[in-house]
A and B are shown apart, each in its own frame.
Chain A
């Protein structure tokens, strides 16, 4: 393992402190926890938004804390869901009395821990509701599995629900718009190389020089199929085919996110985006706004994911709403 770390046990602590030192005017940490909140929290008369999950997806989720997006992010150990007591600490710190919405990615551990945190908040009389993001078309959504995973599309939920909350909406309205985003967002990713969880010290799977893994999640877990590597255009087509098969995006306007998994150069992300643009244009799908960069990574995994969000007037306005979250650009 070759990493810029001191001790595998301290990666979370040192990462959080480094992030706080880089953003002293926007973020603060609740003492004794791994919870990062907006420095101005709680914000009076505003529904609060809390998200989180395992660490290793930076800038998600703490990088999306700030006015117009999240009020709090709960940072678990690397790729491990945070515990209910930590989520509850976040809820207590950001809730202004108008209620809190939890934005949870669909992983069994995350769902269970956030649900338990909601139970704890209920007992204290704090109003909490939650939505579960499941944008990844690579895995089946059926009664036989835990459902589709939540991946980079989660960032669109943060952005749009965050804008809605900032405009003074009630908890039920913020939840409704979050669910609208979830229902209209689909993603799929691929990897050229695995990542190494610092505490484990070796990769979860090995790819040969000429192989790629299609349909990976964001935890270094294997994907749905292994194939010989193809050109950027062919890879993008394969991912988009799966996404477009799932929702009919024809004649609609979309937001596009081309998300790097941690160690793919921007050059390659732009090459991928070039192909995304051409394919969508050919199909008559209009691109309203494009985001290219690292939003939801998987440590140093090399690869990327594509996310499409079908927009209407409300979603467009909320997507454009200003945010001071340090990493949403």
Chain B
């Protein structure tokens, strides 16, 4: 997959965030402050605008630009978290202009590492990590087992979706939702949901 395909996927992620902004903000309103979807859409709209005006031939530069635009425009906790993920990815892929399926594992691993470091969160804290970590582990396992590309992607999205479902059963330990304590049970985490949507968009655009 060349840089332009990666660009196209990221533009589609932006479109999906725009389509789902009210849904994500409603999930957030129940346990946080109700702006997750609007902030994500806003950040990715800056990315789309940039991509429509600029060409990139280096994946490192492309990912770094996404990182900076998310950090500078999303606000809240999501900006630094997703921004840090793209920043970590950009370091790894600097000087490259092509990706293949085995790079997906590295991308998810680096995102997970960056987000854990920035947010000081772990699995079961009811955050992005509850979708991202199972997705990463699924990809890692499937690649080790030489599963087909389609199967790797399908399983990744299924793992993330299961992770999102699981966030309904647990108590939030990070972010504003944590102040609700037990009252956060029953609500789906908006951050895990946006991560699921991003992963699903990646799958839908490759398969």
Interface residues of A (CB under 8 A from B): 54, 76-77, 79-86, 107-109, 112-113, 115-116, 138-140, 144-146, 149, 197, 199-200, 204, 217, 219-222, 224
Contact A149 B179 (CB under 8 A): yes
- The list of the 10 closest CB pairs from A to B, nearest first, reads A109-B77, A112-B80, A109-B76, A145-B178, A80-B75, A139-B179, A108-B175, A108-B77, A85-B72, A219-B33
Contact A108 to B173, CB < 8 A, known contacts A81-B76, A221-B179: no
A86 CB contacts on chain B under 8 angstroms: 72
Distance between Cα atoms of A109 and B71 in the complex (Å): 11
Residue of B nearest to A120 (CB): B71
Nearest Cβ on chain A to B125's Cβ, whole angstroms: 9
Contact of A80 among B35, B72, B80 (CB under 8 A): B35
Contact B179 A145 (CB under 8 A): yes
B174 CB contacts on chain A under 8 angstroms: 108, 145-146
Nearest Cβ on chain A to B10's Cβ, whole angstroms: 19
Contact B25 A200 (CB under 8 A): yes
A81 CB contacts on chain B under 8 angstroms: 75-77, 79
Interface size on B (CB < 8 Å)? 31
Contact of A83 among B71, B173, B181, B183 (CB under 8 A): B71
A107 CB contacts on chain B under 8 angstroms: 176
Is B24 an interface position by the 8 A CB rule? no
Nearest Cβ on chain B to A40's Cβ, whole angstroms: 28
10 cross-chain CB contacts under 8 A: A77-B39, A80-B33, A81-B75, A83-B73, A116-B80, A145-B181, A146-B174, A199-B38, A200-B34, A200-B35
The count of A-to-B residue pairs whose CB atoms sit within 8 angstroms is: 100
Contact B178 A221 (CB under 8 A): no
Q: A83-B72, A109-B79, A220-B33 are in contact. List 12 more A-B contacts (CB 8 A).
A: A77-B35, A83-B71, A83-B74, A84-B80, A108-B77, A109-B77, A109-B78, A144-B178, A146-B173, A204-B29, A221-B180, A224-B179
B89 CB contacts on chain A under 8 angstroms: none
A197 CB contacts on chain B under 8 angstroms: 33-35
Nearest Cβ on chain B to A316's Cβ, whole angstroms: 32
B35 CB contacts on chain A under 8 angstroms: 77, 79-80, 197, 199-200
Name the residue among B32, B77, B174 with the largest chain A CB count within 10 angstroms.
B77
Is B27 an interface position by the 8 A CB rule? no
Distance between Cα atoms of A199 and B78 in the complex (Å): 18
Residue of A nearest to B30 (CB): A204
Is B199 an interface position by the 8 A CB rule? no
Nearest Cβ on chain B to A132's Cβ, whole angstroms: 13
Contact B176 A221 (CB under 8 A): yes
Contact A204 B34 (CB under 8 A): yes
Distance between Cα atoms of A34 and B81 in the complex (Å): 22
Is B119 an interface position by the 8 A CB rule? yes
Contact of A85 among B25, B32, B71, B176 (CB under 8 A): B71
Residue of A nearest to B179 (CB): A139
Distance between Cα atoms of A294 and B34 in the complex (Å): 24
Distance between Cα atoms of A117 and B73 in the complex (Å): 14
Nearest Cβ on chain B to A128's Cβ, whole angstroms: 16
Distance between Cα atoms of A220 and B34 in the complex (Å): 10
Distance between Cα atoms of A319 and B25 in the complex (Å): 41
Is B168 an interface position by the 8 A CB rule? no
Contact B72 A84 (CB under 8 A): yes
Contact A80 B39 (CB under 8 A): yes
Nearest Cβ on chain B to A123's Cβ, whole angstroms: 13
B72 CB contacts on chain A under 8 angstroms: 83-86
B79 CB contacts on chain A under 8 angstroms: 81, 83, 109, 113
Residue of B nearest to A76 (CB): B75
List B157-207 residues whose CB lies under 8 Å from chain A.
171, 173-176, 178-181, 183
Nearest Cβ on chain A to B148's Cβ, whole angstroms: 38
Residue of B nearest to A147 (CB): B178
Nearest Cβ on chain A to B119's Cβ, whole angstroms: 7
A220 CB contacts on chain B under 8 angstroms: 33-34
Nearest Cβ on chain A to B91's Cβ, whole angstroms: 15
Distance between Cα atoms of A221 and B174 in the complex (Å): 15
A83 CB contacts on chain B under 8 angstroms: 71-75, 79
Contact B34 A146 (CB under 8 A): no
Contact A200 to B179, CB < 8 A, known contacts A80-B35, A145-B173: no
Residue of A nearest to B178 (CB): A145
Contact of B81 among A54, A76, A85, A112 (CB under 8 A): A112
Contact B80 A79 (CB under 8 A): no
Distance between Cα atoms of A220 and B73 in the complex (Å): 22
B176 CB contacts on chain A under 8 angstroms: 107-108, 146, 217, 219, 221
Is B118 an interface position by the 8 A CB rule? yes
Name the residue among B29, B38, B175 with the largest chain A CB count within 10 angstroms.
B29
